[in-house]
Structure 1
Amino acid sequence: MDAILLISLVIAVMAVLLIIKGLKIVQQSEAVVIERLGSYHKTLSPGINWIIPFVDLPRSIKMRRYQLINNQQVAAIVEETRIDRRETVLDFPSQSVITGDNVSVTINGALYFQVIDPERAVYQAENLVQAIEILAKTSLRSEVGRMELDKLFESRQEINDRLQIVMDEAGNKWGVKVTRVEIQDIDIPRDVEDAMRKQMTAERERRALVLQASGEREAAIARAQGEKESAVLVAEGDKTASILRAEGEREAINQIVAAGDGQIDHQLVIGYLLGLEYLNTLPNIAKNGDRVFLPFESSSVLGAVGSLQQLLNQAPGK
């Protein structure tokens, strides 16, 4: 009986140990790929799982982790049986890239990815991180090689979007979702940087000159337009004044003729008008300061005055 009890106790202990050994607690956002006798069996989901000890074994995956060595963060490739399904950042180092106009630039960036299918991540790539990093570098060289240096700086977001599309298409095979790609720094040679700085300075000076010339042209147009409008207004004023003066003179003559019952000599009226026009013209002959010599015929002016006198004498009551 003691032997049977001992055997039962040993079996119970072994069963408990097997159960404990077979229990696998998977944390949230983690996954474990299980192989049974060397082939894929299943993927453990978060929570409590049970596997057959020594028959079911977790398959490891290579990941890059940063370790603190001598107070410095050092990247190292480690093998883990638990696959982190959270978003992971991959900082690929600086590399030399040739642009479309044969300028060598140094670019470094960061790539964010997430393991969506743990089975593919384990079996489709021997070293998942290395595969993603090399693909990112080659894709970056390809995209930058299509662009000239001037367009490279202003098209950074365009490069990021293209890289994400390329990386995401390739990552589907590996069970990886590339969420975004960011170019961090773009370093160019010193001589090229100096040339670009001079070019930008010249461009700013050219724009300043163009703006200045445009402002002067608009000012000249505005000034000419103002002078034109002023001249039109003066001419219209002179025209209106002449019309009013002529109408006034005509009305005055009509009144004189009407007062004289049509007995006024029309030759005297014409002489009066000519003399009046002559007297109105004299002050404007040299108004601009020029010296003008004219033959002065006092008899013409006196004749005009005499005509005026005769007109007044012919009026009724004279």
Structure 2
Amino acid sequence: NSDDNLPMNTVVLFVPQQEAWVVERMGRFHRILEPGLNFLIPVLDRIRYVQSLKEIVIDVPEQSAVSLDNVTLQIDGVLYLRILDPFKASYGVEDPEYAVTQLAQTTMRSELGKLTLDKVFRERESLNANIVHSINQASDEWGIRCLRYEIKDIHVPPRVKESMQMQVEAERRKRAMVLESEGTREAAINVAEGRKQAQILASEGEKAEQINKAAGEANAVLAKAEAKAKAIGLLSEALTLENGNAAASLSVAEQYVSAFSNLAKESNTVILPSNTGDISSMVTQAMAIYGSLGRTQGRSLREGIPPAPEPAAPEHTSSI
């Protein structure tokens, strides 16, 4: 502070808030006036320094710095500081703000020399923190505390800027190609998975169809067997009735006529019995065979002897 800007000793003084007035008595430090009402002795006491305790913002001028990979940068910043000890700030350094500004510039050049150009942009926050830490180590003797340091602008040479833009474009093309290849791979995987699932579902459907078909055939065979068993039961009951033989004779005659009506439909050569035209004799013969079988089976059941097979009727071949 210059002497023209310093307040005069008027015996009764009022110190504003967030200011510290350093008083000297007969050229020697006497005390620091607190905010509010204060009294001084004329002639003996003199206000030598006025220090602001508010946060001070200092614009650090643009300067040149060389990075670790020998790239020259133009960089500027903003420094935020506060005076914590008015006595050290008054007697520890001649001009605290100028001293801190110069220290910030030298520290910034030193920290930039430790980083490559790419890291300067990526680690901007850590660079600010390192500058603040370095400034505080030196400014502690001055009663000044650096609160923050912010880099405003970083200017690179035009050629370096063009190469950086080309590098960014190459990185973007690379990422685009990688994303496209990953998309193609994912699409191929999805198609393969879809085909696999389709084959699995088709095989499961075929398996279920075969199972259902087998179950249907089994049920059909069972139903036919049950129907045949019921038919045999009904036939056996009918034969035991009073007119059972007559019903059996009618059934044999109907089957005989139906069979001979379809003989020549499937083949030109058929095998016919010798008495084809005599239906009554055939029915009588069939009933006789039925009666003989019934007597034989009854005797076999009583004696435990298996029944003997009946001789076949004589046949002759006739060509139609």
How many pairs are equivalent? 224
The C-alpha deviation readout for 1:43-79, integer Å capped at 9, x for no partner, is: 11222322222222222xxxxxxxxxxxxxxxxxxxx
The C-alpha deviation readout for 1:229-282, integer Å capped at 9, x for no partner, is: 111111122222233334444554566677778xxxxxxxxxxxxxxxxxxxxx
User: What does residue range 101-116 of structure 1 map to in structure 2 within 5 Å?
Assistant: 101-116=69-84
1:208 Cα offset (Å): 1.2
Q: 1:118 aligns with which of 68, 86, 90?
A: 86
* 1:41–1:238 Cα change, 3 Å: same
State the secondary structure of the residue aligned to 2:129: helix
Q: Does 1:89 align with 2:89?
A: no
Q: Which has the higher Rg, Structure 1 or Structure 2?
A: 2
**Residue 198 of structure 2 aligns to which amino acid in structure 1?**
S
**Residue 143 of structure 1 aligns to which amino acid in structure 2?**
E
Q: 2:207 aligns with which of 193, 216, 239?
A: 239
* 1:138–1:247 Cα change, 3 Å: same
State the secondary structure of the residue aligned to 2:69: coil
Separation of aligned partners in 1, 2:185 and 2:152: 45
State the secondary structure of the residue aligned to 2:166: helix
* 1:20–1:189 Cα change, 3 Å: closer
* 1:260–1:88 Cα change, 3 Å: closer
Separation of aligned partners in 1, 2:198 and 2:176: 33
* 1:20–1:83 Cα change, 3 Å: closer
Tell me the equivalent position of 1:63: none
Normalising by structure 2, what TM-score?
0.64
The C-alpha deviation readout for 1:116-154, integer Å capped at 9, x for no partner, is: 211111111122122111111121112222221112112
Identity of aligned residues (%): 39
Tell me the equivalent position of 1:57: 46
Tell me the equivalent position of 1:26: 15
The C-alpha deviation readout for 1:86-108, integer Å capped at 9, x for no partner, is: 11111110011111222111110
Q: Does 1:181 align with 2:170?
A: no
**Residue 78 of structure 2 aligns to which amino acid in structure 1?**
A
**Residue 205 of structure 2 aligns to which amino acid in structure 1?**
G
**Residue 159 of structure 2 aligns to which amino acid in structure 1?**
D
Separation of aligned partners in 2, 1:129 and 1:258: 114
* Cα pair 2:76 2:154 within 8 Å, conserved: yes
User: What does residue range 121-270 of structure 1 map to in structure 2 within 5 Å?
Assistant: 121-252=89-220
Tell me the equivalent position of 2:66: 98
Separation of aligned partners in 1, 2:18 and 2:222: 113
* Cα pair 2:9 2:46 within 8 Å, conserved: no
Separation of aligned partners in 2, 1:115 and 1:259: 114
1:228 Cα offset (Å): 0.8
**Residue 213 of structure 2 aligns to which amino acid in structure 1?**
R
* Cα pair 2:9 2:40 within 8 Å, conserved: no
Separation of aligned partners in 2, 1:48 and 1:245: 111
Separation of aligned partners in 1, 2:101 and 2:18: 23
Normalising by structure 1, what TM-score?
0.64
**Residue 216 of structure 1 aligns to which amino acid in structure 2?**
T
State the secondary structure of the residue aligned to 1:82: strand
**Residue 20 of structure 2 aligns to which amino acid in structure 1?**
A
1:198 Cα offset (Å): 0.9
